Amino acid sequence: MFNEIKGLNEECGVFGVFGASQASQLTYFGLHTLQHRGQEGAGIVSSDGMRLYQHRDRGLLADVFSNPADLTRLVGKAAIGHVRYGTSGSNSIANVQPFLFHFYDGDIALAHNGNLTNAKSLKRRLEKNGAVFQSNSDTEILIHLIRQKQDCDFITALKQSLTEVKGGFAFLLLQKDRLIAALDPNGFRPLVIGKLNEAYIVASETCALDVIGAQFVRDVMPGELIIIDKDGLKIDCFTKDTQLAVCSMEYVYFARPDSIIHGVTVHNARKQMGRLLAKEHPTQKADMVIGVPNSSLSAASGYAEAAGLPYEMGLIKSQYIARTFIQPTQELRERGVKMKLSAVRGVVEGKSIVIVDDSIVRGTTSKQIVKLLRDAGAVEVHMRIASPPFKYPCFYGIDVSTRSELLAANHSVEEMCRVIGADSLEFLSIESLIKAISIPNANKYPNGGLTVAYFDGQYPTPLYDYEADYLKSLQQQTLRKEQC
């Protein structure tokens, strides 16, 4: 349901290896690099060519594999792994991936990054036909769709099933003798292919290739089906009805700055966002620019460069606390901000500060940051946001607040400025966001091959199960504004 979307959180991270000795250890290193994409649970399934082996649990990757024996038992030259932040399903062991399914004709492991927008309808249909679900994650739906097609070979059944699921998905499937990857027809979530000697790697981000010394081969394109087995890599597709629409929040916030998505280095895109933000919204008589660690540092350096202002380290982030939006209550989120960040009094005291952040969702973090800086003696605090106002939910794999919780959906920029307590507040325009990212050869696609629906409400696909609730929320929002 629409009102079950909880807050701005990362999606998930997937990593797969085929044809490498100690594949599970390589998968562990890759997942460790992708830990920023999910902190609720982690798991790995490996194959020795005869059978599949699994270990998974809730918590951070290092905690899940705190006993070295758990990793050692995952033998074989192929493996897939997953780090989870649940966009659907509760945080229970049953929902931790990769899932492992045992069938008379062969076992299958499955990992998924994204969110299916027609999951509720599909699950209802499958259950009516006798399917029994072991989890309440939408990921499991794909396996049930495949198994219903008993008159087809596996790849044909998979292709047909992939056309039935809608929304955002990057799937990894592991059988005893092959690794398969699939990306949704819009490529909402990033997925890349690498090569390490004779082994092939599939991962959510290129930073996971770098950590194991793999060479980048190519991005997986929308609608593609990648099959890797003893004969090498085969590129197929399950649909030709595709339109590139990469999630713009990958560049704004989610991806690591050293990752490259469709030819664009994330750090470079964020720095350009900062430069364009400075041109659109300069700040008069400011003494310095500081960024909110860590995802905003690139944009802050770009802003300082374009504005001709010193770039200073005015905020320090503790490296030993998880991101604050994961906390389940407002009180815990506010306490988490105080634990996570501290102001450097010797830098900001008596100064007029430009603070650059990547986004404002509820406004909790922004309000606390402004207060931290004022308490440390800042004379003025001017907030600049390196993305447009976040007004609309995402349904493709980011757990975003209901529209009623989104600060920008309920307040003007001036009102938001008063809520967070800043002296001024400005946002990057949608046009400048698209320009800053500039995916090569994406001019033929709307919005330069990006999804910017969170900012303008124009979704690139139907919303399916979410449609009625979303329209109802818009009507309620309009009514509240009229009453005010």
The answer to whether position 341 is within a domain reads yes
What are the residues facing 116 on neighbouring strands? Answer: 167
Domain total in the chain: 2
pLDDT tens per residue, range 422-450: 999 999 999 999 999 999 999 899 999 99
Radius of gyration of the CA atoms of the chain, in A: 23
Q: Any idea what the CATH number is for the domain that residue 355 is in?
A: 3.40.50.2020
- Residue 271 and residue 149 share a domain: no
- Residue 325 and residue 210 share a domain: no
Say which amino acid occupies 97.
Q
Q: How many residues does the chain have?
A: 484
- In which residue ranges of the chain is pLDDT below 50? 1-8, 323-328, 401
The answer to whether position 31 is within a domain reads yes
Cβ neighbours of residue 481 under 8 Å, at least 6 residues apart? none
- Residue 283 and residue 225 share a domain: no
User: For residues 222 and 185, is the Cβ–Cβ distance under 8 A?
Assistant: yes
- Of 12, 247, 394, 417, the active-site residue reads 12
Say which amino acid occupies 106.
G
- Residue 20 and residue 142 share a domain: yes
Predicted pLDDT of residue 324: 45
By DSSP bridging, strand 215-219 and strand 199-203 are unpaired
The answer to whether position 431 is within a domain reads yes
User: For residues 256 and 192, is the Cβ–Cβ distance under 8 A?
Assistant: no
Helix (H) or strand (E) holding 201: strand 199-203
Indicate the residue among 175, 208, 243 that finishes a domain: 243
**String of DSSP letters for 56-97:** EEES-HHHHT-SHHHHHTS-SSEEEEEEE--SSS-SSGGG-S
Please write down the long-range contacts of 469-476, taking CB distance under 8 Å and 24 or more positions apart.
469/1, 469/2, 469/3, 470/2, 470/393, 470/403, 472/2, 473/2, 473/3, 473/402, 473/403, 473/404, 474/403, 476/404
User: For residues 19 and 194, is the Cβ–Cβ distance under 8 A?
Assistant: no
| 164, 167, 170, 175: CA torsion to nearest 10 | -30
247 is an active site residue = no
- Residue 187 and residue 288 share a domain: no
Predicted pLDDT of residue 484: 58
The answer to whether position 456 is within a domain reads no
- Residue 363 and residue 274 share a domain: yes
Predicted pLDDT of residue 463: 94
User: For residues 173 and 229, is the Cβ–Cβ distance under 8 A?
Assistant: no
Predicted pLDDT of residue 9: 53
User: For residues 26 and 33, is the Cβ–Cβ distance under 8 A?
Assistant: no
- Residue 118 and residue 12 share a domain: yes
The Cα–Cα gap between 305 and 21 comes to 46
- Residue 232 and residue 286 share a domain: no
User: For residues 109 and 173, is the Cβ–Cβ distance under 8 A?
Assistant: yes
Predicted pLDDT of residue 89: 52
The Cα–Cα gap between 304 and 288 comes to 8
The arrangement of strands across the sheet holding 232-237 comes to 99-101, 108-116, 167-175, 178-183, 224-229, 232-237
User: For residues 459 and 243, is the Cβ–Cβ distance under 8 A?
Assistant: no
Predicted model pTM: 0.92
The answer to whether position 474 is within a domain reads no
- Residue 143 and residue 27 share a domain: yes
Phi, psi of 109 (to 5 degrees): -110, 145
Predicted pLDDT of residue 482: 60
- Residue 222 and residue 272 share a domain: no
Predicted pLDDT of residue 326: 44
Could you list the beta-strand ranges (E) of 307-442: 315-317, 341-343, 352-357, 380-385, 424-427
- Residue 298 and residue 232 share a domain: no
Which residue range is the domain that position 65 belongs to? Answer: 2-243
User: For residues 446 and 245, is the Cβ–Cβ distance under 8 A?
Assistant: yes
Angle 413-420/364-375 helices, nearest 10 degrees?
50
The Cα–Cα gap between 339 and 370 comes to 15
The answer to whether position 449 is within a domain reads no
**String of DSSP letters for 456-468:** H---SS--GGGHH
By DSSP bridging, strand 264-265 and strand 260-261 are antiparallel
Q: Any idea what the CATH number is for the domain that residue 230 is in?
A: 3.60.20.10
The answer to whether position 393 is within a domain reads yes
The Cα–Cα gap between 202 and 187 comes to 15
Question: Reduced to 3 states, what is the DSSP secondary structure of residue 234?
Answer: strand
Indicate the residue among 243, 277, 292 that finishes a domain: 243
Peptide bond into 440 cis (omega under 30): no
The answer to whether position 25 is within a domain reads yes
- Residue 225 and residue 343 share a domain: no
Indicate the residue among 243, 275, 295 that finishes a domain: 243
